[in-house]
């Protein structure tokens, strides 16, 4: 490797920011502990804000949280994320209020067409009061409506309407919440 290539690799602003971002994520995950221990949670929230992540209030995040860029990641208020959640935010990922997701959520804001390999990048929008099961992958551009439920192990490739219960690979609407039987117990 010649001197010019070394300077290009080490000297770029993008490489420097990527290293700083990785260090912030490392420190954030290093400080993971019980969510009831508020002083550590305040420090963890500060690391997220320094990394560019925007959240309204009370973001509860499990261990081994990862984001790619940070500036394109926005959370509403009272969101809860499980362990091993990954956000690849090449384009905006906007999450509404009161998201509850289990472990191993992966949200990717860019993909490609499987036949032509053309980019299908775009924003990912997750509405308010959404419940997401364990090991779900969301590939953008996609919108998940308000009050939706995404079943465990699902891969969301298309829009999910509001009040829908969706599951499968790829995720399909199974029924709407209005169709659920009402018990008189």
Q: DSSP label at 136?
A: -
- For 42-91, the pLDDT digits (tens) are 777 888 888 888 888 888 888 888 888 888 999 999 999 999 999 998 89
Q: Is 95 exposed, middle or buried (0-12, 13-18, 19+ CB in 10 A)?
A: buried
Cβ-Cβ contacts under 8 Å for 20 (sequence gap 6 or more): none
Under a CB-based contact definition with an 8 Å cutoff, are residues 85 and 116 in contact?
A: no
Under a CB-based contact definition with an 8 Å cutoff, are residues 46 and 10 in contact?
A: no
Answer yes or no: is pLDDT of 10 > 60. no
Phi and psi torsions of 69, nearest 5°:
-110, -50
Cβ-Cβ contacts under 8 Å for 124 (sequence gap 6 or more): 91, 92, 93, 94, 107, 108, 109, 138, 140, 141, 142, 143
- Read off the pLDDT of each residue in 163-175 and give the average, rounded to a whole number: 94
What is the distance between the alpha carbons of residues 46 and 17, in angstroms, rounded to a whole number?
17
Report yes or no on 66 lying in a domain.
Answer: yes
> Between the CA of residue 120 and those of 12, 19, 113, 159, what are the distances in Å?
28, 28, 7, 14
Of the residues 20, 22, 49, 112, only one is catalytic, namely 112
- Read off the pLDDT of each residue in 2-10 and give the average, rounded to a whole number: 47
Going by pLDDT thresholds of 50, 70 and 90, the confidence category of residue 183 is low
Strand, helix or coil for residue 30: helix
Domain that residue 154 falls in: 56-176
pLDDT at 96: 94
Answer yes or no: is pLDDT of 4 > 60. no
pLDDT at 3: 47
> How many domains does the chain contain in total?
1
Report yes or no on 148 lying in a domain.
Answer: yes
Alpha helical stretches, state H, the chain: 3-11, 13-30, 38-50
Report yes or no on 17 lying in a domain.
Answer: no
What is the pTM (predicted TM-score) of this model? Answer: 0.78
Does the annotation count 86 as an active-site position? Answer: no
Residue 143, strand partner residues: 125
The CATH number given to whatever domain includes residue 113 is 2.160.10.10
Report yes or no on 124 lying in a domain.
Answer: yes
């Amino acid at each position: 490797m010649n001197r010019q290539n070394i300077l290009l690799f080490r000297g770029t602003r993008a490489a420097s920011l990527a290293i700083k971002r990785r260090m912030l994520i490392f420190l954030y995950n290093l400080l993971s502990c019980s969510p009831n221990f508020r002083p550590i949670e305040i420090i963890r929230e500060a690391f997220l804000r320094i990394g560019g992540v925007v959240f309204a209030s009370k973001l509860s995040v499990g261990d081994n949280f990862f984001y790619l860029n940070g500036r394109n990641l926005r959370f509403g208020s009272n969101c809860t994320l499980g362990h091993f959640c990954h956000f690849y935010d090449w384009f905006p990922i906007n999450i509404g209020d009161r998201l509850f997701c289990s472990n191993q959520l992966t949200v990717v804001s860019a993909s490609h067409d499987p036949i032509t390999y053309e980019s299908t990048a775009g924003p990912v929008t997750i509405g308010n009061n959404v419940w997401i099961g364990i090991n779900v992958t969301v590939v953008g551009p996609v919108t998940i409506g308000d009050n939706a439920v995404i079943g465990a192990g699902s891969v969301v490739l298309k829009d999910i309407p509001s009040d829908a219960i969706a599951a499968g690979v790829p995720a399909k609407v199974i029924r709407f919440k209005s169709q659920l039987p009402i018990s008189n117990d």
